[in-house]
Structure formats: C-alpha cells, structure tokens
A and B are shown apart, each in its own frame.
Chain A
Amino acid sequence: MRAMQFDSFTFLGFFALVLAIYNAIPAWSARKWFLLLASYIFYAAWNPPFLLLLIASTTLDWWIAQRIDAATDTRRRKAWIVATLLVNLSVLGYFKYSRFLLDNFAALLGTLGVHYVPAPFDIVLPIGISFYTFHSLSYCLDIYRGKFAPTRSWHDYALYVGFFPQLVAGPIVRFTQMRAQIETPRRTTAAGLGLGLTLLTLGLFEKIVLADSIFAPVADALFNKPQAAGSALAWSGTLAFTGQIFCDFAGYSSCALGAALALGFTLPINFRNPYAAIGFSDFWRRWHISLSSWLRDYLYIGFGGNRHGAWRTYVNLMLTMLIGGLWHGAAWTFVVWGGLHGVYLCIERLIREQLATARWQQNAIVRFGYGLLTLLGVMFAWIWFRASDFSSAWLIQSKLFELSTLRAGIAASGSDQRIAVITLLALIAVHWLFRERDIKQVFTRLHPLLLGLLLAIMLSLIVLSPGENHAFIYFQF
C-alpha cells in the first residue's frame, strides 16, 4: 500500500504547487476550500474510490456530533454516541480486522474438531483509516463529554480530519488543537516556511538516509529469514529495527509537522527523544505521543483509570495497551507487543508504589541504568512488532541468548551491520543529548551558519541515498 509519499518527486511537486496557490488566494475561506481539495487529491492519488469513504465518514461524524450537542436528554446523547462508535468501529473492523477475526474463528472451531475454511477474500485496507477514525472518534467523544460545542462548518471539520500533512499517518490531532487554527486566517510566513522546510528536511533525512538506507537492509536480513540468522545478526537486526521504526515514523511526523508549518499550521510534536526515556511511562510520554494521549484520554480514563482501586488500575492499564497493540495491526504479534508494554508499565507502577520517592532514584547512575533497561525492554518488544509470526519472534528471541556464537558472529559481521549499530548508538546519544529539548526550539536557536551546515549535510546525504522508495511503516496501520 503506497500513497503519495513525502519522499517522492510527486509530493515535492504537489507541495510546491499547493504552497504557491494557497498563498495566492486572498480569502481565507477560499484558501481553506483549496486546502481541503488539495488534501483530497493527496488522498485520492492512492486509491480514488476510498476518498468517498473518507468523505462519508467525515460527513456522518460531523452530523452526528451536532445531533449529540442538540440532544437534551442523556439517553438520546448516549444513543448518538453509541451510534457513531458502532459505525466507525464497524467500518474499521471490516477493513482491518475481518480477516483476522475469521481466521481466529476458524482456528477456534478447529480446536473443537470442526473444519471450517473461510472463503478467500482480499480486502484492501483504506490508507490512514486508523488515524482518521481516531480523529473522528475523539471529536464526537469530546462533544459527548461537553468539552466544546461542535463546529457548524462542514468544511472546517472536513479540513480538520483530512488536512493532508497528517491524514494518513498522524499525528492524531484533537479538534481543540486545530479549531482556532482553522477558524483564524493564516498564511505562510518566512519564518514558518524556514522552520517548516527544515523539519521536512529532517524528516526526509530520518526516512531516506537512516531508516531506508542504513537500518532497513539489516533489519530485513534478520526478520525476512530468521532461521538463517545467528546470534550476532539477531542482535544487530533487532538494534537496526529499533532505529528503523523510530526514523521511519518520527521521520513521517517531522515531515507532517514541517509541511503543516510551511502552510501556517502547528501540529503537536509526536516524538520527544524516546530512546532517552527513563522508565516505560516516560517512554510513552515520548513515543507516538498523540496516540498514547488518545489511548489515555479515551480508553484508560474511559475504563475508569486509577479511580477504582489498585487491581482495576492494573487491569485498565493492560487493556489499554493490548488494544493499543491491536490498533497497530490485525495480528497476535501486535497484541503481544502491546501486552509486553502493559506488563512493563504495571511492574513499573507496582515498584513505584512500593518504593516511595527515595534519594537514590535521583542518582545519575541509577537513572542511566534504568534508561538502559527501558531501552532494552523496548527493543525486546520491537521483535514482536516486526516479526511476521509467533514462531519467528520466538526464534529471534532465543537467538539473542545464544551467547556461545555471539563473539564469532560479531567478528564475522558485515559492514552494513556495523554501520547500522554505530548509527543507532549515535541516534541514542543524540536522544540523550537533547532529552529535554524541543527539536523546533533547537533549530530556531541555532546560528544560521551552523543551521545551514546541518541542512547541507542532511540534504546532501538525502540526495546521496538513492534507491527504491520504501512505504512508511505506519501507512499499514
């Protein structure tokens, strides 16, 4: 599945054209209509018929939100919110999970001795459906909770859902974060364009140079043929995927932020140096922030959060992470990935509850050690995220601990493995170095000469990393 990608000539041409026309249109209302049209063209470039699904979903949720707001009695409001949940989750379920559910149903029948083979069907997953469904759900749920009044303008709402920089892979933006920006006239500023193009360059650097050229070949060598891998490749491949998944997704997010900023819009930061996290709750404050906050606000708190005692808190935490895992893909490996993170969070919470804040917790060595443990836990979980099935994941896990062959494997490792591992170590060092700093502020405060040099290095390496375009990993979710 490959939509119009940020790392394509088509997007560069499209974006230049959009930027020029957008700024040439004088009236704000007309500029918004143009942005919506451009967003729909961006989406239709992948598969035109699915644009109708996006428009239908957008229109239905916009209309239902108004019905929720207009309803005066609680039962009616509840009926409307249940309706929108049912419709949105059914559509998502049909496209994303029907095959998975049928296969599991068949397997369940098989254990009861009933042989059932589901009829073959090939459903195309509409790109970005998980993201725009979450946009719509958050909007309707917030209206239901009375957080704000719905917008009367269809095209404002449609632009919120369909705004092309974030349409297919996030960040999952809340309406409150976009409403003022959509309702207030804005256009490209010199500074916004400068920073926006810088973020776009950073995103392309992360995607093309780091994710696709350096990390992907080593990760693919392991995960495509785990049987043939030794312990050294198991380690280097896992490390490489740890780098790849970050650079791929954070790269997309940087491009999204940059493209939006160039048009005068500010999207929320989606990653904040996650591989410098100290603890797993800290990791989730830094990784895919827009999803983790969505899961917290609409699932964890919806389940009751920590308001019903310790036992329910742990159950709610596990449920949230398991569903979060399943959101990523219709496979049990994603559920295990979510489950692992749920277990990490539960253990961390349990330990924190037992040990009151002590001075040793602030000790630099302890913090570094815990950061290292966090990174290892996250890496270990990535195996389940990337492996094609359970047996491959088990196999790779077991190979990590075949220490007898590790030394010989390291000595025999290829240059691509060494480059990937060194690059990941450099990436982790950068995360620690900028642990508490916002990337936008870092760029803004850099001396123009240094910034120019940094941009030149990134741009040169982007051009000097030709190859086939790889789809962004998060497009499949």
Chain B
Amino acid sequence: MLSSTSSSDSASAESGGGKPWLIAWLIALCLVAVTLGAVEYRWRGRDYRPTILDSTLLWSVQRDRVYAQSQTPLLLLGASRIAFGVDMNVMRELLPRYLPIMLAVNAHYPLATLRDLAEDENFHGVILCDVDSVGLLREYNEMQREYVQYFHRQWTPSWHAHRLLLNVWQAHALIADPAFSFVASARRWLDGAGEPFHNYIHFHADRNGDLDFSRTDAEAIKHHFADNLKGNIAGMPKRTADEWLSDLAPVSAWAKRINARGGRVIFFQSPTHGLERSTVDRLMPPELYWNRFAATVANSLDAVLEPSLNAFPLPDDSHLDYHDKPAYTRALIDVLVAHGWLQR
C-alpha cells in the first residue's frame, strides 16, 4: 500500500558546493530589489501613499495595554467617528496622568468590547464609549466580537512581535497594502477595472486615523452614509423605543460593574450634522431613545449639545477632517474635564 520514506544523511552531499548558491542568491536578491522598487515607484507616482492597515492583531496590541498600572488607562471605544476624530498625540500631551488607548474599530459598533472589559476584573480604567442610538440596536451588539475573540483565543507574544514589525513595513512600503498585491492587480486586469481606490484614510500604529477630505468626494459619502443608514434600519425587525431601551439593561449593568471597581464609563455621542443627524433624529428621536438611555447610566454626553464640539465642520456630516482633529480633541478634553470625569 505505502512506500517507506528515506532521508539522505548529509545536507552538503546533496547540495554540492556553496559558490553556485551564493551566485544564485545574489542574483535573486538584486532582481527582487529592482522588481519591488519598480512596483513601489510606479504606485507612488500615481499619488498613493503607504499606511498602516488595521487588523485584529493591531487591535490586540492596544487591548494588551489596558492593564497599565503607572497611568490610568483611558480607552476610546466606538467606531469611525472617534477613531478618526480624536488626536492621540494631543490626548497624551494634555492628559499626562492617563494612557490613551484606541480600541475603536472603523464601521464596527463597540458593545462587544464594552462587555468584554466589564467582564475583565483586572481592568480598572476609564472608558470613553462613542456610540449613538443606532449603534445601541441589538443587531449591532456583536460587531466587535471577532476582535475580542481573537485577543482571547489567538493572541500570543509571537504575534505581538510580528505585528510590531509589520507596522514598520506597512508604514514605509506601499506594496505592503493588499490593494497593490500581485493577485489584486491580476484581478483588476482580468476584470478590466481601474486603478485602486485612492484612500482618504491614513492610519497610524496607535490605531488613530486621519481623514483627508481633499482626496475624496465628501458630498457623495454623505449621501452614501444616509442611504446606508435608512436601508439598514429598514431591514431590521420593527420594535418600539421601549423594546429598544429594555434591550440596553445589560449595557447599563456593564457600566455599573466597571464603575463599581473604580473605573468609569462615559457614554458619548459624537457630533453629527445635516443629512446624517436629521435621518437619525427622524428614525430614532432623541427624546424617545438616546435621552432615555442616558438617564439610565451615570455618565453620558451628547456632543451636539456642547457648542464647542458641535461647531466643528463635518464634511461628510459625521467625520472630522484631520486638520481639525487637534482643536476638536482639545475641546473634547475641556468638556470632559469640566464635567469632572477626567483630570488634567
């Protein structure tokens, strides 16, 4: 049925002398350098820039830091608005007692992460949880579960080291982006598709992102967001505001659990304007939704009601341009300090 295996004994015997190998490897390395350099040069010439790419590994690097002792961990939870709205350098500069940690995930509402932190008895820090009435819908509860599960089940020191090295590679090489991969290029060629999308997001290793609206059509994004929102909510089972609120009992309990062990959870609603705001207010009026939820938790803040925060322009109705991030972050810190939730 099966044959036996055999192994020859000497590596050198089967591979001959060393010189041919040296020549082959020198040729290979030279060709690789030229090829990769040419590909990098080609894409850079078309106004593409390298950026860090977010992943469960990058998230886990930050999740690992929530147990810091020397400073109070200040966790930023949420989706894109806080991930692209808060400037981490300003946070570090103005709040030296705290260790700002970005755990927000673009396009993923944060409740799964909040639950995980509530269940983690070793966490005693402060959480600024950016979520609106839509993000509190039960359909969105598990959006960040993949990240949480990865951290608990697969995260190891070895992957930590890998991700830190990958950050260096991604920060400097455009070809580290899968959009420019060999297979993606072959697919575009076969499909007759154009060049990759010019991304207006620039991501940093600390998981903070910059949106540069000069590189995109903000008006189109605005309508895309509003249409998406209407479509998503229309596709969900109809339920009353009371049912929505009763679903949130565990969320209040998680916050109480963290508060009880010396931490603090601040529920925060980032500012939105125009079409985005009017759509949410029409589908989920604040007096029936957000305000009632806010009454069940110790600390909450609606940025629309804070003139210093609401004054910033939002080109797509819900996100800041990166030029406004530092000033917005200073204003946000001022508001949080004024409420007594943070100390400078």
Asked whether, in the complex, the Cβ of B182 is within 8 Å of the Cβ of A465, the reply is: yes
Contacts of B180 in A (CB 8 A): 464
Q: A4-B158, A13-B165, A468-B55 are in contact. Are A293 and B5 (CB under 8 A)?
A: yes
Asked whether, in the complex, the Cβ of A266 is within 8 Å of the Cβ of B10, the reply is: yes
Assembled-state Cα–Cα distance A180/B8 (Å):
11
Asked whether, in the complex, the Cβ of B187 is within 8 Å of the Cβ of A440, the reply is: no
Assembled-state Cα–Cα distance A4/B28 (Å):
27
From residue 204 to 242 of chain A, which have CB atoms closer than 8 A to chain B? Answer: 209, 213-214
From the candidates A4, A195, A281, A466, name the one contacting B2 in the complex (CB within 8 A): A281
Asked whether, in the complex, the Cβ of A191 is within 8 Å of the Cβ of B15, the reply is: yes
Asked whether, in the complex, the Cβ of A195 is within 8 Å of the Cβ of B187, the reply is: no
Question: Smallest CB-CB separation from A181: which chain B residue?
Answer: B9
From residue 422 to 476 of chain A, which have CB atoms closer than 8 A to chain B? Answer: 440-441, 444, 446, 448-449, 451-453, 455-456, 459-461, 463-469
> Measuring CB to CB, which residues of chain A are less than 8 angstroms from any residue of chain B?
1-4, 8-10, 13, 45-47, 171, 177, 180-181, 186, 189-198, 209, 213-214, 261, 264-269, 281, 284-285, 289-290, 292-293, 295-297, 300, 317, 320, 345, 414-416, 418-419, 440-441, 444, 446, 448-449, 451-453, 455-456, 459-461, 463-469
Contacts of B234 in A (CB 8 A): none
Contacts of A4 in B (CB 8 A): 156, 158
Q: A293-B3, A448-B20, A463-B175 are in contact. Are A194 and B15 (CB under 8 A)?
A: yes
Q: Please tell me if B11 contacts chain A, counting CB pairs below 8 Å.
A: yes
Asked whether, in the complex, the Cβ of B162 is within 8 Å of the Cβ of A419, the reply is: no
Assembled-state Cα–Cα distance A467/B17 (Å):
37
Asked whether, in the complex, the Cβ of A10 is within 8 Å of the Cβ of B15, the reply is: no
From the candidates A191, A261, A290, name the one contacting B16 in the complex (CB within 8 A): A191
Q: A2-B156, A196-B11 are in contact. Are A292 and B183 (CB under 8 A)?
A: no
Assembled-state Cα–Cα distance A269/B21 (Å):
21
- What sequence of 0s and 1s flags, for each residue 8-40 of chain B, a beta carbon within 8 Å of any chain A beta carbon? 111110111111111111111111100110010
Asked whether, in the complex, the Cβ of B191 is within 8 Å of the Cβ of A415, the reply is: yes
From the candidates B11, B26, B176, B190, name the one contacting A189 in the complex (CB within 8 A): B11
Closest chain-B Cβ to A466's Cβ sits at a distance in Å of: 5
Identify the 8 closest CB pairs spanning chains A and B, nearest first.
A194-B21, A190-B18, A452-B27, A456-B31, A192-B11, A455-B28, A45-B158, A9-B165
Q: Please tell me if B7 contacts chain A, counting CB pairs below 8 Å.
A: yes
Q: Please tell me if B212 contacts chain A, counting CB pairs below 8 Å.
A: no
Contacts of A1 in B (CB 8 A): 154
Question: Smallest CB-CB separation from A265: which chain B residue?
Answer: B11
- What sequence of 0s and 1s flags, for each residue 34-57 of chain B, a beta carbon within 8 Å of any chain A beta carbon? 011001000000000000000101
Closest chain-A Cβ to B199's Cβ sits at a distance in Å of: 15
Assembled-state Cα–Cα distance A295/B3 (Å):
11
From the candidates A289, A317, A452, name the one contacting B24 in the complex (CB within 8 A): A452
From the candidates A47, A444, A463, name the one contacting B36 in the complex (CB within 8 A): A463
Asked whether, in the complex, the Cβ of A465 is within 8 Å of the Cβ of B11, the reply is: no
Question: Smallest CB-CB separation from A122: which chain B residue?
Answer: B153
Assembled-state Cα–Cα distance A428/B26 (Å):
30
Closest chain-B Cβ to A412's Cβ sits at a distance in Å of: 13
Q: A45-B156, A416-B187 are in contact. Are A177 and B24 (CB under 8 A)?
A: no
From the candidates A47, A345, A441, name the one contacting B14 in the complex (CB within 8 A): A441
Question: Smallest CB-CB separation from A292: which chain B residue?
Answer: B2
CB < 8 Å A-B pair total: 198
Contacts of A196 in B (CB 8 A): 11
Q: A284-B1, A460-B32 are in contact. Are A189 and B18 (CB under 8 A)?
A: yes
Question: Smallest CB-CB separation from B179: which chain A residue?
Answer: A466
14 further contact pairs, Cβ within 8 A, besides A189-B12, A268-B7, A456-B27? A8-B158, A10-B158, A45-B156, A177-B6, A181-B9, A190-B17, A190-B19, A191-B12, A195-B14, A261-B15, A266-B7, A414-B191, A452-B24, A466-B176
Question: Smallest CB-CB separation from A41: which chain B residue?
Answer: B158
Q: Is the interface of B mostly helix, strand, loop or mixed?
A: helix
Closest chain-B Cβ to A421's Cβ sits at a distance in Å of: 12
Assembled-state Cα–Cα distance A444/B28 (Å):
15
Assembled-state Cα–Cα distance A190/B22 (Å):
8
Contacts of B134 in A (CB 8 A): none
Contacts of A441 in B (CB 8 A): 14
Contacts of A281 in B (CB 8 A): 1-2
Contacts of A464 in B (CB 8 A): 36, 39, 175, 180-182
Question: Smallest CB-CB separation from A172: which chain B residue?
Answer: B5
Closest chain-B Cβ to A261's Cβ sits at a distance in Å of: 5
Counting chain A CB atoms within 10 Å of each CB, which of B159, B166, B177, B187 scores highest?
Answer: B159
Assembled-state Cα–Cα distance A184/B219 (Å):
72
Asked whether, in the complex, the Cβ of A3 is within 8 Å of the Cβ of B158, the reply is: yes
Contacts of B32 in A (CB 8 A): 456, 459-460, 463
From the candidates B21, B161, B165, name the one contacting A191 in the complex (CB within 8 A): B21
Assembled-state Cα–Cα distance A416/B188 (Å):
10
Assembled-state Cα–Cα distance A293/B5 (Å):
7
Assembled-state Cα–Cα distance A296/B9 (Å):
23
From the candidates A47, A190, A195, A419, name the one contacting B156 in the complex (CB within 8 A): A47
Q: A295-B2, A456-B32 are in contact. Are A214 and B21 (CB under 8 A)?
A: no
- What sequence of 0s and 1s flags, for each residue 177-214 of chain B, a beta carbon within 8 Å of any chain A beta carbon? 11011110011001100000000000000000000000
Closest chain-A Cβ to B195's Cβ sits at a distance in Å of: 16
Closest chain-A Cβ to B2's Cβ sits at a distance in Å of: 4
Closest chain-A Cβ to B269's Cβ sits at a distance in Å of: 32
Assembled-state Cα–Cα distance A74/B283 (Å):
82
Asked whether, in the complex, the Cβ of B15 is within 8 Å of the Cβ of A444, the reply is: yes
Q: Please tell me if B231 contacts chain A, counting CB pairs below 8 Å.
A: no
Q: Please tell me if B340 contacts chain A, counting CB pairs below 8 Å.
A: no
Question: Smallest CB-CB separation from B35: which chain A residue?
Answer: A460
From the candidates A192, A213, A440, A456, name the one contacting B35 in the complex (CB within 8 A): A456
Q: Please tell me if B70 contacts chain A, counting CB pairs below 8 Å.
A: no
Contacts of B177 in A (CB 8 A): 466
Closest chain-B Cβ to A260's Cβ sits at a distance in Å of: 9
Asked whether, in the complex, the Cβ of B35 is within 8 Å of the Cβ of A415, the reply is: no
Assembled-state Cα–Cα distance A205/B183 (Å):
13
Asked whether, in the complex, the Cβ of B18 is within 8 Å of the Cβ of A194, the reply is: yes
Asked whether, in the complex, the Cβ of A10 is within 8 Å of the Cβ of B161, the reply is: yes
Question: Smallest CB-CB separation from A280: which chain B residue?
Answer: B1
Asked whether, in the complex, the Cβ of B21 is within 8 Å of the Cβ of A190, the reply is: yes
From the candidates B5, B25, B39, B158, name the one contacting A289 in the complex (CB within 8 A): B5
Q: A194-B15, A452-B28 are in contact. Are A10 and B36 (CB under 8 A)?
A: no
Contacts of B165 in A (CB 8 A): 9-10, 13
Closest chain-B Cβ to A205's Cβ sits at a distance in Å of: 11
Assembled-state Cα–Cα distance A243/B1 (Å):
24
Counting chain A CB atoms within 10 Å of each CB, which of B5, B26, B175 scores highest?
Answer: B5
Contacts of B175 in A (CB 8 A): 463-464, 466
Contacts of A267 in B (CB 8 A): 7
Asked whether, in the complex, the Cβ of B24 is within 8 Å of the Cβ of A10, the reply is: no
Asked whether, in the complex, the Cβ of B35 is within 8 Å of the Cβ of A419, the reply is: no
Asked whether, in the complex, the Cβ of A453 is within 8 Å of the Cβ of B27, the reply is: yes
Contacts of B20 in A (CB 8 A): 194, 448, 451
Q: A456-B28, A466-B175 are in contact. Are A285 and B3 (CB under 8 A)?
A: yes
